Amino acid sequence: MNQQPAQALELWLNQWHRRLTALPFAAWLLLCLTGALPAVAENGALLSRTEMVVSDATLISYRASAQLSNAVQLVRFWKFTYESDGLKVCGYMAAPRQGGSLPCIIENRGGNRDFSPWTDTNSVRLFAPLAAAGYFVIASNYRGSPGSEGQEEFGGADVNDVLNLLPLIDALKPEVDPARIGMEGWSRGGMMTYLALTRTKRIAAAIIGSGEVDLAEGIKLRPEMETNVIAELVPGYATNKVQALRERSAIFWPEKLATNTPILLLAGTADWRINPMNSLKMAEKLYQQRHPFRLVMFEGGDHHLSEFRDERTRITLDWFNTYLRDRKPWPSLEPHGR
């Protein structure tokens, strides 16, 4: 830990301790009751949790398939808010109705601000198959998104909104098994997953779909991403462009990823939003690091692999069942065999 912030915190605590111990009990009690004492932020504190009712009429309006409708009947859904760096951030949860000490999947959204946030509709569509298969699913909309406080930074301080789900998950025990946590992210959510994996070793397995790993190359493909998103959201971007892009581009720091987390890379060869070569290049970097991974490229698949929805679900569950639910070790990564 940096010594200066630690020393400053210790000094602040000592000062308040001396002040409080010098007060008569009645005065101390009055401060507590009136809220005059300084508030202490608690990252991951659950502030609210409201169950959602998904009716048959709602499913009809979603044009849900029979398979999805059956999954929804087995699942409970919630909206929630929690504390992250002193901000109120909103998100969604889902879990099978039978309950139990469940393995947990953190879902990292793509998009930015009010483009492609988690909603009542897409959270039900995407979380129901996972929850019906026995997983507790939790997802943040990040700071600066609809319903959340603060300013989004597109892979800056908002990564804390992902990491601050970990103490929340710990507090949800026995609903959740905190020893079995996985993570999945698509598109921008893939970038958030890579960034999170540089700061925690608690993720048993990860899936990254159509993930951006080189923002400098990405804005060559889509210049509007720089002008309309990155330049508006990343602090100090105008004067620190090269470093800001590199800090958010996993292709430059694969050695920083948690070595105990196997990663499944998914991509469609017809994706126009994110160059499919990203996944191939990242696979090469992971291979060079002897990092456990698997790469699956879907012929003619779009950004969300919408042509392969059932196969995507099957592969996702197979990966999480193996390395998250069952905690199976991966095979040796060293050359072997006959």
105-154 pLDDT, tens digit per residue, is 999 999 888 888 888 888 999 999 999 999 999 999 999 998 999 999 99
Whether the per-residue pLDDT at 15 is higher than 50: the answer is no
| pLDDT the model gives residue 281 | 96
Assess if residue 22 is contained within a domain.
Answer: no
Strand order in the sheet with 293-298: 46-52, 75-84, 87-96, 136-140, 102-108, 176-186, 203-209, 263-268, 293-298
Query: pLDDT, tens digit, for every residue of 184-212?
Result: 999 999 999 999 999 999 999 999 999 99
Assess if residue 268 is contained within a domain.
Answer: yes
| pLDDT the model gives residue 21 | 44
Assess if residue 275 is contained within a domain.
Answer: yes
| pLDDT the model gives residue 313 | 94
Cα angle for residues 280, 161, 295 (degrees, 5° grid): 15
Query: pLDDT, tens digit, for every residue of 249-283?
Result: 999 999 999 999 999 999 999 999 999 999 999 99
Assess if residue 292 is contained within a domain.
Answer: yes
Side chain identity at residue 220, one-letter code:
K
Assess if residue 331 is contained within a domain.
Answer: no
- pLDDT (mean) for 232-246: 95
Of 77, 82, 232, nearest to 142 by C-alpha is 82
First to last CA, the chain: 48
Assess if residue 4 is contained within a domain.
Answer: no
- pLDDT (mean) for 170-181: 96
The secondary structure of the chain, three-state, reads CCHHHHHHHHHHHHHHHHHHHHCCHHHHHHHHHHCCCCCCCCCCCEEEEEEECCCHHHHHHHCCCHHHHHHHHCEEEEEEEEEECCEEEEEEEEEECCCCCEEEEEEECCCECCECCCCHHHHHHHHHHHHHCCCEEEEECCCCCCCCCCCCCCCCCCHHHHHCHHHHHHHCCCCEEEEEEEEEEECHHHHHHHHHHCCCCCEEEEEEECCCCCHHHHHHHCHHHHHHHHHHHCCCHHHCHHHHHHHCCHHHCHHHCCCCCCEEEEEECCCCCCCCHHHHHHHHHHHHCCCCEEEEEECCCCCCCHHHHHHHHHHHHHHHHHHHHCCCCCCCCCCCCC
Q: How many domains does the chain have?
A: 1
Whether the per-residue pLDDT at 295 is higher than 80: the answer is yes
- pLDDT (mean) for 8-20: 45
**What angle, rounded to 10 degrees, do the helices at 309-320 and 120-132 form?**
50
The average confidence (pLDDT) of the chain is 88
Assess if residue 130 is contained within a domain.
Answer: yes
Assess if residue 171 is contained within a domain.
Answer: yes
Tokens matching residue 190: 């893939």
Whether the per-residue pLDDT at 39 is higher than 90: the answer is no
- Distant-in-sequence, close-in-space partners of 196: CB < 8 Å, separation ≥ 6: 108, 159, 162, 163, 183, 203
Whether the per-residue pLDDT at 20 is higher than 60: the answer is no
Whether the per-residue pLDDT at 49 is higher than 90: the answer is yes
Q: 264 lies in which domain range?
A: 43-325
% the chain with pLDDT above 70: 88
Identify the CATH number of the domain in which residue 308 sits.
3.40.50.1820
User: What is the pTM assigned to this prediction?
Assistant: 0.86
